[in-house]
Structure 1
Amino acid sequence: MDRLWRGYFRRPAQVPVLRFDPGRRRWVAARETACPGHVERLTVTTYNIWFNDHHAGQRHRTIAELLSRESPDIMVFQEVTPDALAVFGEQPWIRERYRSAAAVGGRRGNYGMLLLSRVPVDTVTYTPLPTRLSRGYLTAQLTVNGELLTVVGIHLESGKASAPLRARQLERIFASQRDAENVVMLGDFNIRDSENAIIDPDYRDAWPMLRPGEPGYTEDTTINHMRFDMKDKRRHVRFDRVLTAGDAWVPESIELLGREPISAALPRVFPSDHFGVRCVLRRR
């Protein structure tokens, strides 16, 4: 059977939701409680952290330090290696405040996906996609203000030639959320603006909605010299996105993260080949 289609016959798999137990000094199964109080705003972040070994430890620690200043409510990451997962899992601020759900390694290849949430998480699943690159998506169910919120972290196939496959992957993901009332879908879509028609019209794309006329490139070799040095090729694309559907939450603000080198001593090394995206959602 063509490896491309094997994902089609796999069902969603449960992903353990963990919390850090300071007494036992390890991550253990989380027992969730209701989200305290009424929440008016949620901050969500997506970051493809680049699996490459190039200054990986320094880059991933820089991303962790950058996000510690933001303390988003919900974060999703792509291209997470076991070593990167360990870097995030050892951060005191993450251990103290976040639940963790990771689909990393094993049949998923040498990297995977991670979700970190300050909002208590009910369940998380990982669903493989039809793919040549071990791609899939995480689906997290959270209860906020007594209402269900679905957060979908995605990583679609890369490369211009994979546009038809990306369309199939995204169609499959949208179909999986057809019955969900409120959805935040974020991650590395790997789609160019010429492919925007494949986005379900029920979903709002936060960047052009909030910052029309600004390109919002998340791979930008004019700024990110490391990305240029990788392939000696110019690139300006908005691969990483935040989409919302439903009436409960609307995008209020959005910005890019990680647009500076990791240090003055390494001016051509950036936190990742992608920029992160931070979006604030307001309760309607």
Structure 2
Amino acid sequence: MADVSNRIPVWYYDKVRHYWTAKDSTMFRPRKPFSSDSLRIITYNIWFKKTHQPSRFNHLNALLYRSDAHIICLQESKQIESINNEQEVSALYILATKYVLEQLISLPWIQHRYILSDVDGRTFLYSPRSYGVVMLIDKHLSLRELSMYPLPTRKGRQFLLAKIQLRNERFLVGTAHLESLRNSQDLRSQQLQLCQSIFDRHIGDSLNVTGFFMGDFNFGAHWRENTIQMNILQGWTDLWPELKGPDDRGITHTNVRFDRMMFRSSHVRPTKIRIIGKKPIAEAPPSGNQLASERDVFISDHFGLKANFDLSFI
């Protein structure tokens, strides 16, 4: 059970009143149970740089809609150059955050299908230089709890955890945006140790628990650091090499594999994983008259991951 102080509400769209409403995440129950034997999950660092942001968001919207994902974990990053004033950084980041969230929650298909961990960036404001994470969860999944845990950090990093009950299996879905920069290895280790301890506390002695841990880990899979950090995540499987083999590097950001989807389960089987967002927005749907300046513009400076899981054994 999470500490009450870490618990956050879940947001659902009230179609009668036409606005998003917060509800105690331990009290939310779906009106219609989840019946599929397949689960689809996305993790994506969507990059809050303002350059081409409207076009990038339109293509993000189209990509997420087509994905038909049941759970979407988004990590948001900022890149604001030549600004030294802390208040200016905070204000610009909040504006960018609010733009993306406001656009996201205004989409009818999002309102119809998902409950959200945040709708206005309130969970991002841990510090003026916060990096936020958001989770979208299919309304038919039985959410039992949402919690946010502050991590040791210089930039307001946090760990978001959802507890979901599906048949006889408890699902723990966690996402984080770990500390950036090559020289932050020790801080990333501390962050992973805390995330691991939170998972262990929630799993306890239960055998019917499936864990997902994903996000922008900010260290490359072929760095020496990877061995150290993976030793912290004992019992977890890195899905990309597991399903694609050791020779497929799975690059997600500037010649490295920063973005991960980690998995642990005795009853759920991963069946597929792929990279998403690889095409420049000028080549990807929605089609139309694209500007020449957008030919080398992508949805994000990261690629995302989408994985499929077989639930027929739970």
Whether these two folds match at TM > 0.5 is yes
Per the alignment, do residues 53 and 277 of structure 1 end up closer, same or farther by CA in structure 2, a change over 3 Å counting?
Answer: same
Per the alignment, do residues 54 and 120 of structure 1 end up closer, same or farther by CA in structure 2, a change over 3 Å counting?
Answer: farther
User: Are 2:33 and 2:142, in contact at CA under 8 Å, matched by a contact in 1?
Assistant: no
Per the alignment, do residues 12 and 282 of structure 1 end up closer, same or farther by CA in structure 2, a change over 3 Å counting?
Answer: farther
Flag structure 1 segments of 5+ consecutive residues without an equivalent.
1-9, 220-234
Per the alignment, do residues 98 and 209 of structure 1 end up closer, same or farther by CA in structure 2, a change over 3 Å counting?
Answer: same
Identity %: 31
Which residue type is aligned with residue 196 of structure 1?
Answer: N
User: Are 2:131 and 2:155, in contact at CA under 8 Å, matched by a contact in 1?
Assistant: no
Per the alignment, do residues 67 and 29 of structure 1 end up closer, same or farther by CA in structure 2, a change over 3 Å counting?
Answer: same
Q: How big is the shift at 1:201?
A: 3.0
Residue in 2 aligned with 1:189?
217
Correspondent of 2:15 among 7, 14, 22: 22
1:50 aligns with 2:69: no
Residue in 2 aligned with 1:175?
197
Q: How big is the shift at 1:86?
A: 1.1
Q: How big is the shift at 1:120?
A: 3.3
Q: How big is the shift at 1:111?
A: 4.3
What does 1:1-284 correspond to in 2, within 5 Å?
13-30=6-23, 31-33=28-30, 36-79=33-76, 81-102=97-118, 104-109=123-128, 111-118=131-138, 119-179=141-201, 180=203, 181-193=209-221, 194=223, 195-197=225-227, 198-199=229-230, 200-212=233-245, 213-219=247-253, 235-263=254-282, 264-265=290-291, 266-283=294-311, 284=313
Question: Normalising by the residue count of structure 1, what TM-score does the alignment of the two structures yield?
Answer: 0.86
Per the alignment, do residues 170 and 111 of structure 1 end up closer, same or farther by CA in structure 2, a change over 3 Å counting?
Answer: closer
Per the alignment, do residues 169 and 104 of structure 1 end up closer, same or farther by CA in structure 2, a change over 3 Å counting?
Answer: same
Q: How big is the shift at 1:51?
A: 1.5
Moved over 4 A (4+): none
Q: How big is the shift at 1:79?
A: 0.9
Please give the secondary structure, in 1, of the residue aligned with 2:179.
coil
For residues 19 and 275 of structure 2, the distance between their equivalents in structure 1, rounded to whole angstroms, comes to 32
Per the alignment, do residues 177 and 55 of structure 1 end up closer, same or farther by CA in structure 2, a change over 3 Å counting?
Answer: same
For residues 124 and 108 of structure 1, the distance between their equivalents in structure 2, rounded to whole angstroms, comes to 21
Q: How big is the shift at 1:123?
A: 1.3
Q: Deviations over 1:73-131 (max 9, x none)?
A: 00000117121111111111111011111264322445411100112322111111000
Q: How many residues align?
A: 260
For residues 12 and 59 of structure 1, the distance between their equivalents in structure 2, rounded to whole angstroms, comes to 36
For residues 150 and 32 of structure 2, the distance between their equivalents in structure 1, rounded to whole angstroms, comes to 29
Structure number with the higher strand fraction is: 1
